[in-house]
């Protein structure tokens, strides 16, 4: 089963790798099973054999990507809450958004591709792309929601909820294709710079005073 660990990867993981890349680049509907199996060097029927269907392959891909991110978000929140003082908004933003940038499996171009996969899936209108959310994601989200609530006591639940989703949205910035070809041909955001810019941006945004009625 795991006979040769490094020589040629499992067909199953090669399918996962190929699907991860193609789903990130072209979305769920824009990626054909044939394109995946071609890139993976596998037979067309391999997807059906190893995963059952294209949708279940997507679920497996997303699970593999999301789990370490979720674990990192959880661990960092644990560490913050173990301290004596309450975490600040900046702490929470960093702990929540940081793993979205750097908790990426190896072989990725600075996390840019994996980050794009998440965003592509999240914003995909196909309903198959929306059936993967598990209970652990919800648990982490609720814990952060509670922590932000304590750090921002004046904010209504609804507005806090809006702002939390804003964090995800800003992570999606490299998916924004309007205004393509930046004015003076600005270089595409490098991974590390994007991470720091986003955290600055989001900390300020989350710390904004409540919107008056």
Partner DNA sequence: GTATGATCCATACGAACGTTTGACTGAAGA
Partner DNA sequence: TCTTCAGTCAAACGTTCGTATGGATCATAC
* For a second copy, the closer CB: 42 or 206: 206
Instruction: Choose from DNA, a second copy, none: what does 33 bind? Cβ within 5-8 Å by kind.
Output: DNA
Closest CA to 68 of 39, 108, 32, 33: 108
104: left (phi > 0), else alpha (psi -120 to 50), else beta? beta
Using CA atoms, how far apart are residues 108 and 21, in angstroms rounded to an integer?
10
200 binds, among a second copy, DNA, none (CB under 5 to 8 A by kind): a second copy
Identify the CA nearest to 19 among candidates 41, 43, 37. 37
**What residue 143 binds from DNA, a second copy, none (CB within 5 to 8 A, per partner kind)?**
none
Contact at 8 Å (CB) between 40 and 13? no
Exactly one of 13, 25, 32, 123 binds DNA (CB under 7 A); which one? 32
DSSP states of 118-163: HHHHHT---GGGGS---HHHHHHHHHHHHHHHHH-TTS-HHHHHHH
9 scored as a contact of DNA (CB under 7 A): no
Residues of this chain that bind a second copy (CB under 8 A) = 25-27, 29-30, 119-120, 122-126, 130, 133, 137-138, 141-142, 145, 157-159, 161-166, 168-170, 172-173, 175-180, 182-184, 186-187, 189, 193-194, 196-205, 207-211
| Residue from 16, 18, 24, 42 binding DNA (CB under 7 A) | 42
Per CB under 7 A, does 54 bind DNA? yes
Least separation in angstroms between residue 65's CB and DNA is 19
Q: Which is nearer to DNA, 38 or 174 (CB)?
A: 38
Alpha-carbon distance of 146 to 11, in angstroms, equals 42
Closer to a second copy by CB, 84 or 177: give it.
Answer: 177
10 Å CB burial of residue 211 (0-12, 13-18, 19+) is exposed
* Sites of contact with DNA (CB under 7 A): 1, 3, 11-12, 31-35, 42-50, 52-55
């Amino acid at each position: 089963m795991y006979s040769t660990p490094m020589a040629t990867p499992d067909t199953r993981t090669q399918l996962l790798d190929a699907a991860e890349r193609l789903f990130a680049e072209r979305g769920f509907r824009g990626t054909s099973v044939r394109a995946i199996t071609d890139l993976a060097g596998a037979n067309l029927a391999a997807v059906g054999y190893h995963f059952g269907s294209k949708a279940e392959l997507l679920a497996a891909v997303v699970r593999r990507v999301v789990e370490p991110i979720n674990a990192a978000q959880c661990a960092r929140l644990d560490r913050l809450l173990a301290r004596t003082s309450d975490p600040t908004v900046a702490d929470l933003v960093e702990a929540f958004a940081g793993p979205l940038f750097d908790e990426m499996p190896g072989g990725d171009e600075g996390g840019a591709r994996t980050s794009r996969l998440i965003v592509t899936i999240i914003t995909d209108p196909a309903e198959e792309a929306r059936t993967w959310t598990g209970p652990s994601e919800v648990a982490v989200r609720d814990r952060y929601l509670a922590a932000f609530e304590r750090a921002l006591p004046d904010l209504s639940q609804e507005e806090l909820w809006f702002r939390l989703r804003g964090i995800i949205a800003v992570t999606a910035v490299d998916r924004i294709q309007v205004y393509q070809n930046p004015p003076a041909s600005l270089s595409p955001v490098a991974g590390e710079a994007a991470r720091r810019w986003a955290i600055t941006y989001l900390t300020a945004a989350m710390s904004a005073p409540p919107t008056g009625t």
